[in-house]
Amino acid sequence: MDHNNPLNRKSVEKSSLTEVLPIVKNFNLPVLSKEDIKDLVEKPLVKACEIFWDKNIKTLESSANIKDIKGSGYIGLDFNSLSPENKEIAKQYAEPHELYVNDPNVLSVRIPVAINESDTIEMVSNKAVEIANQFNKQKANWISGTTLEEHLIKFEENFGDKYPDAVLKEKERLNEPGAWEEECKRKGEYFDAQTRTSWPSEELYKKANEDIKPKRESPKSNLEKIKTNNPEIFNLISDKYNADSILEITDDGKIKTEEGDYLNTPRVQELVRIMTAIKESLPSIPEGYVRLWRGNRKNEVGKNPQYTNSLSGIALPFLMGYGGHLSYVDISKEDAEKCLKTGAVAEGAEFMLPKELLSNVQIVGFSEEERKSILEKSLDLPPDEGDGKDWWTSISV
């Protein structure tokens, strides 16, 4: 499909999550190749699971279907097989739990993917992809081959007590020259002649033997990212940010904010606390007005007309992805109603502002003189930007 074709793009955008039924055949089934993923994983999470596959990260479970609307989907990662760096990233989203009752050897960390009622399949997919891209490529230590000796030990453990004669004959047969290799190929497995080991597939063999140089950098927290990329914001909120502030939790376990309810993960907790500190550091909102936000790309402040009333859920995540400045504008409630976007957007949270309102935009952490200098350097948007195709919902909290 040509995704640059506006007709095709429109049809993809309108694909609803109500069209996605649960896949019930996927539990505990082995994934022998990347090609298998599309048959075992529900459509909104296929791309993210393919990214995890390419990064040698083992997925155990996933869900993003009609039953998850108004809640969240998830991708469960095999926590014990994650690299130390990826374990730290995963724990920013959730804590690991036993996948099977009383079996601590298999721990799944369910990475939540927020799902709004108006989300399309592509929106959910973009959220999951954004999360998967935060993880590092690692050694595939969860994949291993089997030697003849290991195979025979397992065979005897399973059948030795009941069928000792059959086990003895099997040992004699497979110890014949070439028999072990022939047996592996008969079962459709990949045989490595150099190590004389059997592997579930050639693709898994190659992944297990890929030379990966581990990244030693620990993942940065949201606050660390702001300190590095937006020191003007960090300096503004440093005396107001409280990492231990108590957050209000709803009956169903979500974080309650004036912007809405969010999934309760360490990453989101930090974003909410950053949001609170920013709001406390700025002038109060005039009566009868609402404050809208934008996490900008570089050199676009005052030019891109798309704003949001969600600071922690949309503007801040986009700021970290775009690398520009955080801007805001106060507009009357009447103007806000006129500028509210509808359709394939985050419901009640996205606005398209006219030029006369953009002229009043403020930039967090900068003086009036600095603001004017930044606005003068802002560039006009390309023809295809600022027309509603900014993909707000591609960032997940």
**What tens digit of pLDDT does each residue of 108-160 get?**
999 999 887 778 899 899 989 989 998 999 999 999 999 999 999 999 999 99
Half-sphere exposure (Cβ direction) of 318: Cα atoms closer than 13 Å: 23
Instruction: Answer whether residue 8 shows pLDDT above 60.
Output: no
CB 26 within 8 A of CB 18: no
Q: Phi/psi at 128 (nearest 5 deg)?
A: -65, -40
Helices 179-186 and 164-174 pack at an angle, to 10 degrees, of 110
Instruction: Answer whether residue 217 shows pLDDT above 80.
Output: no
pLDDT of the residue at 344: 61
**What is the band of 23 on the pLDDT scale with cuts at 50, 70, 90?**
confident
Instruction: Answer whether residue 83 shows pLDDT above 90.
Output: yes
Rounded to the nearest 5 degrees, what angle is found at the Cα of 121, between the Cα atoms of 326 and 340?
45
Q: Are strands 107-114 and 289-295 parallel, antiparallel or unpaired?
A: unpaired
Instruction: Answer whether residue 69 shows pLDDT above 90.
Output: no
CA 293 – CA 326 distance, rounded (Å): 7
Region 229-242: what's the mean pLDDT? 94
Instruction: Answer whether residue 67 shows pLDDT above 70.
Output: yes
Instruction: Answer whether residue 384 shows pLDDT above 80.
Output: no
- pLDDT tens digits, 296-326: 988 899 999 999 999 998 899 889 888 899 9
Instruction: Answer whether residue 352 shows pLDDT above 50.
Output: yes
pLDDT of the residue at 95: 87
C-alpha distances (whole Å) from 269 to each of 77, 94, 254 are 21, 12, 10
Instruction: Answer whether residue 330 shows pLDDT above 70.
Output: yes
Instruction: Answer whether residue 277 shows pLDDT above 70.
Output: yes
CA 280 – CA 252 distance, rounded (Å): 28
pLDDT of the residue at 211: 87
pLDDT of the residue at 26: 54
pLDDT of the residue at 3: 44
Instruction: Answer whether residue 65 shows pLDDT above 50.
Output: yes
Model pTM score: 0.64
Give every CB contact of residue 163 below 8 A, 6+ residues apart in sequence. Answer: none
**What is the band of 392 on the pLDDT scale with cuts at 50, 70, 90?**
very low
C-alpha distances (whole Å) from 172 to each of 8, 199, 256 are 61, 22, 67
CB 106 within 8 A of CB 142: no
**What is the band of 218 on the pLDDT scale with cuts at 50, 70, 90?**
low
CA 117 – CA 127 distance, rounded (Å): 14
Cα 173 to the center of its chain, rounded Å: 50
Region 249-257: what's the mean pLDDT? 88
Q: Phi/psi class of residue 221: alpha, beta or left (left: φ > 0; alpha: ψ in -120 to 50)?
A: beta
C-alpha distances (whole Å) from 362 to each of 195, 308, 325 are 65, 14, 10
CA 113 – CA 73 distance, rounded (Å): 5
Q: Which residue has the higher pLDDT, 69 or 51?
A: 51
Indicate the average pLDDT of the chain.
Answer: 86
Region 199-215: what's the mean pLDDT? 88
Instruction: Answer whether residue 103 shows pLDDT above 80.
Output: no
CA 60 – CA 74 distance, rounded (Å): 11
Region 337-343: what's the mean pLDDT? 86
Q: What DSSP character marks residue 317?
A: H
**What is the band of 285 on the pLDDT scale with cuts at 50, 70, 90?**
very high
Q: Which of 293, 300, 325 is nearest to 392 (CA)?
A: 293
pLDDT of the residue at 9: 42
Helices (H), ranges, 299-354: 316-322, 333-339
